[in-house]
Amino acid sequence: MNDILNMSELKHRFVPRLVIVSGVMGAGKTSLYRYLLHQWCSHSSTVAGLTAVDIVIGLEMRWVTSGSLAQFLREQLLKDTSRLFTESDIIPVLQEINVLFVIDGMDEATSLGRAVLKEVVTKFTNSTIIVTTRPEFTLELMKMAEEHVVLHIEGFTSENQENFVNRVFAIKYPDKRRFIKEARSFLAYKNNVCASLSTHLSLPLNLALLVVLWCDDYLKVTFVNTTTRLYSKIYEISQQKLTQRLESGGVGHSATVSLKVRRCLIELGRVAWTMMLRESLCLTQEITVNLMEFCEREGLDPIQVLSTFLNSETRETLTTSVYNFSFHHSSSEEFLAALYVSEEVAKTGSLFPLLKDISSPRFQDIIMYTTGLLKLKGALTPSMVTEIKKVLYRCIQAQISDPQVLHRLILEAEEDAAVCKMVSFIVRAEDLWVINSWDPLELIEAKRNLMKKTRTSPSQVDIYTQYTKKLEECSNLEDIIKLLGKINGNKVRVFVDHQFHTVGEKIQVNNLAVPLLTNNTLLEFMGHADSAFSSELVHATTLQSLSVRITSVEALVHMSLSIKKHRVQKVFFMPSRKWSLRYLEVFLDISHTVPPSDLPSLQFRKTLVIKLAGVTDEEAKWAGQVVKRLNGRYACVTLQSSYLSHKGLKQFLKAIEGVNIKVLRVMSYERNLEEGICNGFGRRGTKVEMGIL
């Protein structure tokens, strides 16, 4: 954010006009919005770029009820300041100064709010505009301005979570020993009991709610393992405490009061649902009056009831007190709406017609909560699951196969059999998943857990690791390869660059890929190969490309035998049998003292590439004999990181006389090898490439 707002660097670099801050519910978007406003108001230099801003205009989209920016400033945000200007003067005045627009909640914007946002983007072409939104509305924002950048709020890391928890408990328990004890107890609970919530607890809001529950009564949160249960428990405790207060005030018996409080909460949910349908996110005075009258008909104090579940502000007038209520967070509004929907669905046995015409991404979380609440009630049926799929498809359309969406659905449904079955059909229908070690951890975990819980995968799965990354450093990828080894009917490509390219690396990962060979599901592989892997190659008729580093003669022997078996079976027993392997690259990382005569031949007739590393002049003849021993024809022979001089290269070339090589690539640390380039080491039919390291 400092870089984006650093106005002094504008002439030297690209600075986007529209900054889109994307994050899921509870990731901290509104906190960032308020933080920026606070930093500017307090003249803080923490965010250096803010010091050059003349004015910051903040808009919370859910509260925008004006149809134009000038109207919004005059009637809502800057009533006293704007009244000094005519409406036609406001925009020109702002265009002449350095304005930063900070806009929160594009996903909560009404049609009026969207109109104001489009006006800001259109008229203030020299201003920076920061807009926060949930991911599903990012594309709509990107279309508004060509000069944009998208920033993703990832939430808390494990370290951030621990720091947050320690700070909260340090404030709650001034005694250091008590603070340490309580913090450790909570963290142990979070890491063990709430392991299934790990992804959701990276969101500050969810972690804060869990801390609140724990501090209230840690025994009550024993079974909180989904966000639905988390919010349910929050509202359950709120209802219990309100019931106790009302009962102590003489309202009636606790059982009767509890039912009345519950009816008031469901009514609040109905209001939340209606507001979501109308894209009206403000509790108007009319809605507030209706809610208060409902509470009074139940015989309950409306102020006590509504202030328990909503934010409450009081404004005194000459004649009376005016109460303004609002939802604590958009997530609380969505959960209460889902609470009402689940009650209605449980009565009718169907999501239709209540959710029949729902088609906006804004309803995604409501569907998730509804699924979780129906599961908690024991009312989730296979027919409802089919309806949930239809509604979810309309809401998120192309994102229906998003692994994170599907994984969350399974979590909220607490691995309901019908939901898992429905998700497995969606996953199986996918053509390809590409899983990279550099992908967001949440995405990798979602794909892993989907395969684990549904016991299925897309038609093809490709796995890539960074060259600098060992597979054992990517535990999720290891788990995914193990899971794929247990799933039949798919195709897998695995590329572990580090294990293939690193000379002398003894850590082996090919044992994870052996089941893929046994099941004949491996299409391509790059990595290390030991004896077990090389032996199982005999089953791999669908393998198309293989790049392996071999560190033992035994592994090379087993590879030779596997190749021979394929050839024998094809020629003598099964002439129609097709072996798909078309490319074989062998990085022979063995001791240079091994006699070439101890090595087997590789009777491979397609594209064969051989690579040797660290060859010196003394070992040049040995290297040539090894190449000649393995095969008589190569697409490429590479001498990597060698120490060959002009003399050594001549010895190598002499040793490989009679071998057909299309490309000979020599990379050497010896400078005098350049003389050889001048003299020419040309072999008929061979392209010689040389490089000095």
| Complete domains list, the chain, with CATH | 2-152 (3.40.50.300), 156-222 (no CATH), 349-423 (no CATH)
Dump the DSSP string for 598-653: GSPP----SEEEEEEES-BGGGHHHHHHHHHHH-SEEEEEEEEEEB--HHHHHHHH
Distances (CA, A) of 589 to 143, 596, 604: 52, 14, 19
What's residue 689's pLDDT?
76
Which is nearest to 131 in space by CA: 146, 151, 111? 151
580 phi/psi in degrees, rounded to 5: -80, -10
For the segment 43-56, the average pLDDT, to the nearest whole number, is 82
pLDDT tens-digit readout, 187-204: 888 888 777 777 778 888
Task: Check residue 673 and give its pLDDT.
Answer: 61
Structure token digits, residue 123: 């008229």
Which is nearest to 227 in space by CA: 375, 397, 341? 375
Give buried/exposed letters for 332-359 (b at 16+ CB in 10 A, else e). bbbbbbbbbbbbbbeeeeebeebbeebe
Q: What is the mean pLDDT of residues 29-54?
A: 85
Contact 488, 519 (CB under 8 A): yes
Burial classification of residue 250, based on how many CB atoms lie within 10 Å of its CB (0-12 exposed, 13-18 middle, 19 or more buried):
exposed
* Cα–Cα distance, 333 to 272 (Å, whole number): 6
Q: What's the pTM value of the predicted model, to 2 decimals?
A: 0.77
Higher pLDDT, 428 or 217: 428
**Rounded to an integer, what distance in angstroms lies between the CA atom of residue 404 and that of residue 446?**
5
**Cβ of 194: how many Cβ atoms within 10 Å?**
20
* Residue whose tokens read 């009565």: 347
> Residue 21 CA to chain centroid, in angstroms?
15
Cβ–Cβ < 8 Å for 107, 134: yes
Segment (H or E) for 660: strand 660-668
Q: What average pLDDT is seen over the chain?
A: 85
Please state whether beta strands 432-436 and 321-326 pair in parallel, antiparallel, or not at all (unpaired). unpaired
Task: Answer for the pair 646, 675: CB distance below 8 angstroms, yes or no.
Answer: yes
Mean pLDDT throughout 506-527?
A: 83
pLDDT tens track for 291-316: 999 999 999 999 889 988 988 777 76
Confidence of residue 493 (pLDDT cuts 50, 70, 90): very high
Taking each continuous run of H as one helix and of E as one strand, the counts in the chain are: 28, 17
